[in-house]
Amino acid sequence: MDTAKLILAGKEYEFPVVVGSEGEVGIDITTLRAKTGAITLDSGYGNTGSCKSSICFIDGEQGILRYRGYEIADLAEHASFVEVAHLLIYGELPNKDQLATFREKLTRHSMIHEDMKKFYEGYPPTAHPMAVLSSMAASLSTYYPPVPGEDSDQHIIRLLAKTKTIAAYAYKKSIGQPTIYPQNDLSYCANFLRMIHAVPCEEYQVNELWVKALNKLLILHADHEQNCSTSTVRIVGSSQANLYATISAGICALWGPLHGGANQSVLEMLEQIRSDGANYKKYVDMAKDKNSGFKLMGFGHRVYKNFDPRATILKKTCDEVLGQLGINDPLLDIAKKLEEVALNDSFFIERKLYPNVDFYSGIIYRAMGIPTNMFTVMFALGRLPGWIAHWKEQNEDSGSRINRPRQVYTGPTVRSFLPIEKR
């Protein structure tokens, strides 16, 4: 199986077949237009391989997700988010020395320039933190302008280290509290939690259970091959836009409710169901009715067709965290009942719709005292190393070109221009 044949207008063409390290088969149509004059049409890119990548492997039928060959369950159980960030960006899990150096760099670069704090004064307190996050990410390029041809590692470190501080400041500003500087003796996750929860007038105690849960959540979100935001990062990065601008675009793409914004929408949906008397069957019926415009948020996935391995881990984590904290959240009960009803309904069974990563993550964030409008920011913090890894891989690929799809034009054919008085 090393070539594929296409017959178009009675003429036969051959195209090479590319096989990935896990046996995935792709038909290389790079020469399609030159040979045949035709292009492919693939709405939503469901059948299009946009690149070769060695970062993340997903088998949606089997529910497999691996980062650089490591099973997601192993990483979530045994690694820290910083180790996983190293794995994704540099290709290997760090040894002790590498980890210490990486951690030290992330710590040393975690403050943002004092002048950048003034930007926050311009945003209204109601500003969505995703808007602030993407603007601030792009603004980093004004303080640390990348120079073409320089080593990008310093920018990668800065972006990774500062984004959590930027995110925490966005939250603090939105609730009218003073921002809290990062504290160098704390880990990445502990530092972030302190920056959002601490207040200057009180002693802050790191909650190790939250730190563990946050590490897991961020690891589960850290990469997911060519999803909408990562593809955005690759598209924007392909024009050689700088790292900060590119990641800012990725953050915006993530914000939408069909992608990372779904975690906020899930919580809002669960709240709505609760205030409607917990009538979850009504909402399942609404989701089945195409005219209702309602979807079960946190359900379905383009790639996973049996289960989302991240959701399986998160459901268990959710029970553990809430159990250990002694929290009895009625939204968790509604979520479980909703899941049960949907998974036994032929509409969802036939369409292979299962809970995805966003279904349970919000309930854990809520238990940690993280407000709903910060959920997608949490997703962005987790996805950051994945975006950076894809940007770096693309940048280091000498064969990569500017991403520029084509289209099948369906508008009017040539028309004569009429001056305004004749229209």
Nearer to ligand CMC, 112 or 220 (CB): 220
Any contact of residue 234 with ligand CMC (CB under 6 A)? no
Asked if 372 and 268 count as a contact pair (C-beta separation under 8 A), the reply is yes
224 binds ligand CMC (CB under 6 A): yes
Contact 32, 53 (CB under 8 A): no
Shortest gap between Cβ of 174 and ligand CMC (angstroms)? 24
Query: Residue 68 or residue 259: which is nearer to ligand CMC going by CB?
Result: 259
Residues written for the chain: 423
- Among 86, 109, 128, 301, the active-site one is 301
Rounded Cα–Cα distance for residues 251 and 81 (Å): 19
Collect all residues with Cβ–Cβ distance below 8 Å to 421 and sequence separation of at least 6: none
What is the residue-wise DSSP string for 197-214? H--TTS-----HHHHHHH
In terms of CB distance, is 94 or 260 closer to ligand CMC?
A: 260
Give the nearer residue to ligand CMC in terms of CB position, either 102 or 375.
375
Residues within window 339-358 making contact with ligand CMC, judged by CB under 6 A = 351, 353, 356-358
Q: C-beta of 260: minimal distance to ligand CMC in Å?
A: 6
**Which range, of 72-80, 144-152, 203-211, 300-308, touches ligand CMC by CB under 6 A?**
300-308
Q: How far is the CB of 256 from ligand CMC (least distance, A)?
A: 9
Nearer to ligand CMC, 112 or 287 (CB): 287
Concerning whether 301 is annotated as a catalytic residue, the answer is yes
Compose the 302-321 pattern: x for residues touching ligand CMC by CB under 6 A, - for all others.
Answer: x-------------------
Q: How many helices (H) and strands (E) does the chain have?
A: 18, 6
What is the closest distance, in whole angstroms, from the C-beta atom of residue 291 to ligand CMC in the complex? 12
367 in Cβ contact with 322 (< 8 Å): yes
Q: How far is CA 418 from the centre of its chain?
A: 48
Considering only 63, 129, 298, 382, the residue that binds ligand CMC (CB under 6 A) is 298
Write out the binding residues for ligand CMC, residues 117-176 only, by CB under 6 A: none
Structure tokens, 281: 């069957």
- Nearest approach in angstroms of CB 39 to ligand CMC is 21
Q: Quick one: which of 8, 19, 258, 327 contacts ligand CMC (CB under 6 A)? A: 258
Nearest alpha-carbon partner for 219 in 87, 109, 371: 87
Q: What is the separation, in whole angstroms, between the first and last Cα of the chain?
A: 58
Residue in 128, 155, 197, 358 annotated catalytic: 358
Is residue 282 a contact point for ligand CMC (CB under 6 A)?
Answer: no
Q: Which of residues 40-69 bind ligand CMC (CB under 6 A)?
A: 44
Using CA atoms, how far residue 303 sits from 57, 114, 246, 308, 352, in Å, is: 11, 43, 24, 9, 10
Considering only 259, 315, 390, 392, the residue that binds ligand CMC (CB under 6 A) is 259
When the beta carbons of 139 and 226 are compared against ligand CMC, the nearer one is 226
Nearest-CB residue for ligand CMC: 300
Using an 8 Å Cβ cutoff, are 376 and 358 in contact? no
Distance of CA 331 to the CA centre of its chain: 24
Q: Which residues contact 382 (CB under 8 A, 6 or more apart)?
A: 81, 217, 218, 219, 220, 221, 222
**What is the nearest approach in angstroms of ligand CMC to the Cβ of residue 265?**
7
Nearer to ligand CMC, 25 or 349 (CB): 349
Distance (Å, rounded) from C-alpha 270 to C-alpha 274?
A: 6
Cα-Cα-Cα-Cα torsion 168, 174, 175, 176, nearest 10 degrees, comes to 100
Q: Decide: is 297 part of the binding site for ligand CMC (CB under 6 A).
A: yes
> Under DSSP, is residue 192 helix (H, G, I), strand (E, B) or coil?
helix
Distance of closest approach, residue 285 Cβ to ligand CMC, in angstroms: 11
Indicate the residue among 47 and 154 with the shorter CB distance to ligand CMC: 47
299 interacts with ligand CMC by CB under 6 A: yes
Q: How far is the CB of 45 from ligand CMC (least distance, A)?
A: 10
Is residue 250 at the binding interface for ligand CMC, with CB under 6 A as the rule?
no
Active-site residue flag, 109: no
Q: What is the C-alpha separation between 417 and 408, in angstroms, rounded?
A: 24
The CB-based long-range contact list for 65-72 (8 Å cut-off, 24+ gap) reads 65/224, 65/309, 65/310, 67/222, 67/223, 68/92, 72/219, 72/220, 72/309, 72/310, 72/313
Strand order in the sheet with 3-8: 3-8, 11-19, 25-27
Q: Tell me which DSSP letter residue 407 carries.
A: -
Binding site for ligand CMC (CB under 6 A): 44, 224, 227, 258-260, 262, 287, 295-302, 351, 353, 356-358
Active site residue ranges: 301, 358
